[in-house]
């Protein structure tokens, strides 16, 4: 279950959202950390570069690089509400929404060094009172990540993936993005959806933690050592 204290209500892509993500390992980038031995702290050059960029953000308070928006990203962002509605209808579930009915994002601050922003948090309950656990401090929600590639072959590549492991081999960054969201949201289930309105069907992939224990073990080890490396780099830059 997702602890309410982890949820930030900053709107996605706003300056406040950007500031809160500075120096944090995020779900969309977690795949950069994964390597053959990342779970024991042996990182690739790509992983070290990512960690060093985060350390720089912590020390300077500035982004390591500006957000780059391509035509494909703009298309995906524009199609996202339709994508979420499509898969919610398939699942018989409902997304949590912000003030704007089309805004389903929630920034989840896992801790000082990690966080994620799922495209939506889904629930089988429409009644808000049924979302909470008995303590009233946790939400019963499932993270959803949707991709809406406008290029046909990109969509078809994702559509051919039926299982999480197939997605892992095809687009590992997306696979680890869902794993990260599940972990930070305290959910044993996660969903990945590929959508393009020109095609008759979208592809929904259900992740179940119990079926991916080896992957979660690798995730946990990689995250732990990445945080250690991040803190070590920050101390080096601050001459501590």
Per-residue model confidence as pLDDT tens for the chain (240 residues): 899 899 988 878 888 999 999 999 999 999 999 999 999 999 999 999 999 999 999 999 999 876 666 777 788 889 999 999 999 999 999 998 876 666 788 899 999 999 999 999 999 988 777 888 888 889 899 999 999 999 999 999 999 999 999 999 999 999 999 999 999 999 999 999 999 999 999 999 999 999 999 999 999 999 999 999 999 999 999 986
Structure tokens at 138: 């946790």
Give the residues across from 139 on adjacent strands: 2, 132
Element (H, E) at 106: none
Delineate the domains of the chain, giving CATH numbers in brackets.
Answer: 2-237 (3.90.320.10)
Degrees to nearest 5, angle at CA 77 with 118 and 202: 75
Q: What is the pTM of this model?
A: 0.94
């Amino acid at each position: 279950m997702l602890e309410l204290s982890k949820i930030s209500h900053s709107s996605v892509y706003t300056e406040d959202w950007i500031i809160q993500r500075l120096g944090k390992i995020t779900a969309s980038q977690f795949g950069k950390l994964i390597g053959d031995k990342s779970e024991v702290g042996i990182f690739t050059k790509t992983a070290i570069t990512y960690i060093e960029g985060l350390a720089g953000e912590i020390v300077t308070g500035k982004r390591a690089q500006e957000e780059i928006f391509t035509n494909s990203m703009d298309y995906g962002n524009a199609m996202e509400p339709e994508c979420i509605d499509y898969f919610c209808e398939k699942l018989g579930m409902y997304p949590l929404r912000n003030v704007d009915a089309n805004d389903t994002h929630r920034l989840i601050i896992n801790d000082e060094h990690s966080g994620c922003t799922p495209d939506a948090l889904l629930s089988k309950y429409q009644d808000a009172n049924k979302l909470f656990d008995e303590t009233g401090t946790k939400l019963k929600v499932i993270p959803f990540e949707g991709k809406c590639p406008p290029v046909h072959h990109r969509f078809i590549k994702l559509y051919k993936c039926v299982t999480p492991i197939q997605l892992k081999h095809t687009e590992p960054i997306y696979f680890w993005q869902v794993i990260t969201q599940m972990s930070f949201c305290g959910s044993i289930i996660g969903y990945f959806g590929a959508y393009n309105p020109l095609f008759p069907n979208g592809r929904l992939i259900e992740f179940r933690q119990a079926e991916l224990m080896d992957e979660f073990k690798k995730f946990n080890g990689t995250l732990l050592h990445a945080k250690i490396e991040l803190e070590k780099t920050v101390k080096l830059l601050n001459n501590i």
